[in-house]
Structure 1
Amino acid sequence: MHGNRNGSLRRWAVFVAITAALGLLVWLGWSVLRHRDLLPDVTSVTSDSSVTVGLVGAPSSLDIRTDADTAVEQALLGNVYETLVARQQDNTLSPGLAERWEVSEDGLTYTFTIRDGVRFSNGDALDASDVVWSLQQIVQHAYQGADDLTRLSEVSNPDGSTVVVTLSRPDPRLLRSLAGRAGIVYDAEADIDYGRQAVGSGPFTVGDFRTGVSIGLRRNDAYWGDQAATATITLRYYADEDDMVTALHDGDATMAVALSASTAQTLSEDPTLNVAAGQSLSKTVLAFNNDADSILSDSRMRQALRYLVDNETLANTQPGAAEALGGPIGPLDPGYEDLTGLFPHDVDQGAALASYFGTGYYNNGLRLVVQERHQDLAEAIETQIEQGGVPVTVQVLDEADYRTTIDARQFDMTIMTVTGDDTADAYADPSSFSHYTDAVAQEQYDAATSAANEADYISGMAAFARTVSQDAASDWLYSCNSYVAAKPRLTGYPTNMVESWLPLSGVTLG
């Protein structure tokens, strides 16, 4: 009896174990099909394959120190050159060449611990002295990124793995700056022609550079981190988007980056390609002329326009639009808050505010001056505003005439696409494009950008953005998408911010 009972228990235990195992396999399979987030990270799996990335707009040199062109930063930052602080695809910060850091309570001292065992592609060791030298060179020679280091007072390396940065006053954006060109660590001992060569610590080296044609990236087999998944990547530059698309269809390019919305829409109908939309740092703005002699110097008129313009509809109908905005800070920027509720589309409210001025103020209508690429959007905005009884005259100009007209301040509104991490700064500077000024907003901005820690900076920028939005300094219409098209076998490529940042170490051709 006892033996039979033990045998039954053992059989029951085996049954339960098999059932559990089968259940786990089914659950894992379903999770993989649905989410694919339970698979191991395959970016460390390498191959000898080659990938060609198509782009438009070639850099004139490889000198990332002096060349202000976004193209050289897009090609080399994160691929060949690395920074003290890194950033992720959602634009958050993470350890880079500095594996950790500490910030003093007063925000004036940053202590960075540099990773051990890092080498440049020429075999030279990277240590704290290279970091100190790089920061000094950027400041002394006014290299790209120097403007982000104006509060730097002193930099030192008490030992080979420690860098101490002392500021003259707090700068809560320092870490973000050190994730860009200001944070690049160069080899103090390298003697190269930076215009045609590069010595970095990244997952790739520059194999060859053909000015205006291509940049060849080769896997850095001595890289300190995960090896690049692909052996060689060629950045191939085309005269225009049509040529790039032709190369993609002909198989001469494996991937095309930073496509226009119209081209992305066309390619999405091609079953031989995958088209991905990512988030961009770009924002499309209906900018107001806040000059004293402009009707839009009065906040009531600006607020009327914000009620009349239907941002949600525009974001849902305009090519390239990602989501409606309600303020100067976008979804990928620190301090972002959804402010679309401040001015919900309300024709009656907009008309009531505008009626204060009477038709005599409008003359021939508010002047909406735009370039040709924004004509359709301008006409949609014209229709929306006129529903509130405010006449609008749309003037469509070529680039040269547009610039002349805008510089002469002969406009009431214009449409602009702005990009970058700090585009909200313009509303704290009365000399910037919109000529907007508000004492409260400026005080909030100054407090935020002098905060001793990042949390206070983020909350301060959010408060600044809300003030500027409530005062309707402009109408921020929508954030923009970025687009990438690739062959179906290609995986691991970035989709966010690809116009300026294109980390390629995870790209692999299956």
Structure 2
Amino acid sequence: MRSKQSRNNNELVSWGVFLVVTLVLSALVWAGWSVIGHRSDAPTLTLPGKGPDTSVTVGVKDMPQSLDIRANSSDAAQRLLIDNVYETLITVDQQNQLQPGLATSWKVSDDALTYTFTIADGVTFSNGHTLDGTDVVWSLQQAVTKQYADVSDLGELASITNPDAHTVTIALTSPNPTLLRALSGRLGIVYDSEAGDTDYAKQAIGSGPFTVSKFTPAQSLTLAYSGTYHGTKAKVGTITFNQYSDEAKLNEALANGSIDMAAPATASVASAANGKENLKVSEGTTTDKVLLAFNNGTDSIMSDEKVRTTFRYLIDAAAIASSQPDSGGLLGGPISPTEPGYEDLTGLFPHDMSQVQSMTSYFGSYLTTVDFVVTEQYRSMAEAIAQQIAQVPRPTVNLEVVSDQDYAKRIQDGSWELTLMSMDGTGDAGEFVDPNSIFHYDHAAAEQAYASARAATNDQEYADRMKAYARTLSQDAASDWLYTRKCFTVASSKLSGYPTALIDTRMPLGAVAKEQ
């Protein structure tokens, strides 16, 4: 194993960056960085340890086209690689709470402009190279200079340095209360700065409990036990993910035992597996929020707050939520129960036809026709909502079920009033005040509330201010938030140690065990 211990403290990497924000270009301009010391970039790949003889096969609904999680915002790649092959500075537990990852601890200054991380000792990449603060700085440098996916989530950076091998300091020019959350995802992955010309689309050199053994784009991915892993070693020798686009074939594979698990499974796959011998169905929480979105653009009747309010009283959200097999509970606002800033807002707009009658009579002939545009997956829910709207003489609903391609164009062009969609991300409520978002929502008080939340200097302050922001959005009926989705896992009764929550975003399988 090659070591970095020969580099003394004054030979470590120190990388400073200075951010210039221009309102016209909205771009990051980096003044420069300095690298002290030089290391060989020709890695010697080492074979992973053989590990246990057991193997696990997982059926998934989507498989990435590329393993390059840096430039590619593929949810599938992130779900399969993070916590299995790659590790992040911060990680997330099954309750969506931030936990130590490669950073064993961190401190935040009172003004929230300086974050100091302690990097774990004794960690190596799967090729035998030592992982330390140099690799952390280099990884963040690459994300910024090459504008990798989601890089803006890092906020306004002033500098990133590693004063010693196990300390990394990130300095900001303004607070970013979601920086730690960003470092728990793709931006927090630590790559080997010595890996040279690695083809990240096909290979992965990480520090996790598995290595990439074989990858067939959009078809399958096999992970192998890593004997160099610094933590508790994996309990199985290989894990193979196979894509199933046909639910009937996935059900058959579960029934005949050709796969050990389906995750995340759809509600229909979970229903088909219920009661079957040797299969266990588990449910878990997600941050996936299903909403009836309103086009608040000036050319849409939904730009009128009274119209939006009318629709929220008219739509029986509780009935919709209870009728959906993937519903984890009625929502009422833009933040799910496991996200910072959640408050139960379901009481703001209960289904109330008396309120609707008074409002629709007030509008007279103003409410004429609304274009309700959805994709096939939301057809049945959209039909139920259209039937609810039909309880009043106006408006008439023009329900259009279109292809994914046509849907994307219609939504982008703004030629719609209503649509059904989901938002799956911690902290994504900020999209409602983004002037470039599909919602075209313009509300000064909401913008101010969100700006205040973004200026928070500690977690409690951020949660409290996000709560206020979410209430402002919901009271103004920016959209109609229906329910939070739950996720399903169908697994052989021989399996144990697998996650059941948040598996739509990450699926750590290092603790999975299989009875022989």
Indicate the TM-score class for this superposition, using the shorter chain for normalisation: 0.7 to 0.9
Given that 1:306 and 1:350 are in contact with CA atoms closer than 8 Å, whether structure 2 keeps it comes out as no
Is 1:416 the equivalent of 2:439?
no
Aligned to 1:91: 96
Aligned to 1:155: 160
Give SS of 1:356's match.
helix
Listed as ranges, the gaps of 5+ residues in structure 2 are: 1-50
Given that 2:155 and 2:176 are in contact with CA atoms closer than 8 Å, whether structure 1 keeps it comes out as no
Aligned to 1:368: 372
Worse-superposed segment, 83-92 or 414-423: 414-423
Q: 2:344 aligns with which of 334, 338, 344?
A: 338
> Residue deviations 1:238-265, cap 9 Å, x none?
3433333322223221001122222222
Q: 2:489 aligns with which of 470, 484, 489?
A: 484
Q: 1:501 aligns with which of 503, 506, 510?
A: 506
CA distance in 1, matches of 2:409, 2:432: 23
Number of residue pairs the alignment of both structures matches: 463
Given that 2:371 and 2:400 are in contact with CA atoms closer than 8 Å, whether structure 1 keeps it comes out as no
Aligned to 1:32: none
- Superposition pairs for residues 39-438 of structure 1, below 5 Å? 47-191=52-196, 192-358=198-364, 360-363=365-368, 365-399=369-403, 400-438=405-443
Given that 1:378 and 1:394 are in contact with CA atoms closer than 8 Å, whether structure 2 keeps it comes out as no
> Residue deviations 1:370-413, cap 9 Å, x none?
22222221222123233355433142322144344434433221
Amino acid in the other structure paired with 1:395: L
CA distance in 1, matches of 2:251, 2:484: 25
Amino acid in the other structure paired with 1:378: A
CA distance in 1, matches of 2:343, 2:209: 35
- For normalisation by structure 2, the TM-score amounts to 0.86
Q: CA RMSD in A?
A: 1.8
Amino acid in the other structure paired with 2:146: H
- For normalisation by structure 1, the TM-score amounts to 0.87
> Residue deviations 1:79-101, cap 9 Å, x none?
11101111111111011111111
Moved >4 Å (runs of 4+): none
Deviation at 1:47, TM superposition (A): 4.8
Deviation at 1:77, TM superposition (A): 0.5
Give SS of 2:363's match.
coil
Amino acid in the other structure paired with 2:390: E
Deviation at 1:317, TM superposition (A): 0.8
Deviation at 1:168, TM superposition (A): 1.4
Say if 1:57 and 1:294 are closer, same or farther in 2 by CA, change over 3 A: same
Say if 1:209 and 1:405 are closer, same or farther in 2 by CA, change over 3 A: closer
Amino acid in the other structure paired with 1:62: L
Given that 1:379 and 1:394 are in contact with CA atoms closer than 8 Å, whether structure 2 keeps it comes out as no
Listed as ranges, the gaps of 5+ residues in structure 1 are: 1-45
CA distance in 1, matches of 2:155, 2:441: 25
Given that 2:386 and 2:399 are in contact with CA atoms closer than 8 Å, whether structure 1 keeps it comes out as no
Worse-superposed segment, 159-168 or 368-377: 368-377
CA distance in 2, matches of 1:367, 1:190: 53
CA distance in 1, matches of 2:199, 2:410: 42
CA distance in 2, matches of 1:189, 1:241: 43
Deviation at 1:114, TM superposition (A): 0.8
State the identity as a percent.
46
Given that 2:61 and 2:243 are in contact with CA atoms closer than 8 Å, whether structure 1 keeps it comes out as yes
> Residue deviations 1:44-75, cap 9 Å, x none?
xx953110111122212222222221111111
Higher helix share: 1
Worse-superposed segment, 489-498 or 151-160: 489-498
Worse-superposed segment, 210-219 or 447-456: 210-219
Give SS of 1:156's match.
strand
Give SS of 1:340's match.
coil
The structure with the larger Rg is 1
CA distance in 1, matches of 2:60, 2:89: 27
Aligned to 1:465: 470
Given that 1:132 and 1:157 are in contact with CA atoms closer than 8 Å, whether structure 2 keeps it comes out as yes
CA distance in 1, matches of 2:151, 2:413: 31
